[in-house]
Amino acid sequence: MDVHDINEAEESFKRAIKKGPGKNLLIIGISLLLLIMFRPWVQIGAGERGIVLNFGAVQEHVLGEGMHFRIPIMQEVKIMDVKVQKVQTDASSASSDLQDVTLSVALNYHIIPDKANHVYQNIGVHFKERIIDPAIHEVTKAVSAEYTAEELITKRPQVSEQMKEALSEKLLASNIFVDAVSIVTFSFSEVFMDAIEAKQTAEQHALKAKRDLDRIRIEAEQTIAAATAEAEALRLQKMNISPDLIELRKIEANLKAIEKWNGILPNVTGSGAIPFIGVDQKK
């Protein structure tokens, strides 16, 4: 096909378009093609914000959720997530008693929605690596230095709260809001962990010894109390003995002997008088 044939084909195509419905269809097709190519709209999803760029310059207005129109070629919209997000960072520090400590800190945060454009302009989308992780390392070192290694364990909620306050103040300057801070794990040196285990064992032994001493003391007090009561009873009984009581006990003994006697006098060989039980020889 030569140049003459190509020109004739173009003329035939133009005449076909000018004749009627074909012209309208072509216009509609071109319009749809332009819409698809330039996309003069943008959709912002739930928990997101749109950052408007005019020829690359960040604008003050932040687009909320929903459908928005933009000027093709001139305007570009960057989507930023402002939902609550979680990061977990490992940090090394030292306690006030110079023990090496490794902490795993979990941080829940979100970008302040109305300030999303400033975050994008000043930090970009890699704010975790640029802002959050360094802040966690700095705060962890500062807070850990105020507690001994043992206190970091026993006062864990207090340490977490202090870290949250410090991180909130530090990250708020970058328009990042801290929702929660939690210490996932503590790790100490093997020597320190052995010392903690030895201390716990010693405390358990001391507690057992104290309980044994308390038991022995109570048993001794009970024995003393029983002996004291018995001695007091004997003392009172001794105080109550009198000549009349002695005479009464003799009469009671003679009466019991008479009750047991069967009426038969004993056979006695030799001379002598027959004794009578309980008969006083004195007249």
Q: Is the pLDDT of residue 39 over 60?
A: yes
Residues 46 and 138 in one domain: no
Domain boundary among 35, 61, 81: 81
CA distances from 211 to 107, 177, 191 (A): 45, 52, 30
Residues 121 and 102 in one domain: yes
* Residue located via tokens 């004739």: 8
Q: What is the pLDDT of residues 224-238, one digit of tens each?
A: 877 787 777 766 666
User: How far apart (Å, rounded) are the C-alpha atoms in residues 52 and 69?
Assistant: 11
The answer to whether residue 271 is domain-embedded is no
Domain coverage including residue 206: 190-252
The answer to whether residue 164 is domain-embedded is yes
Q: What is the pLDDT of residues 50-88, one digit of tens each?
A: 999 999 899 999 999 999 888 888 888 999 999 999 999
3-state secondary structure of 238: helix
The answer to whether residue 223 is domain-embedded is yes
Q: Is the pLDDT of residue 24 over 70?
A: no
Place 262 in a pLDDT band, splitting at 50, 70 and 90.
Answer: low
Q: What is the pLDDT of residues 97-121, one digit of tens each?
A: 888 888 899 999 999 999 999 999 9
- If residue 81 lies in a helix (H) or strand (E), which one and from where to where? strand 75-81
- If residue 8 lies in a helix (H) or strand (E), which one and from where to where? helix 3-18
Please compute the mean of the pLDDT values over residues 194-214 and round it to a whole number. 72
3-state secondary structure of 94: strand
Q: How many domains does the chain have?
A: 3
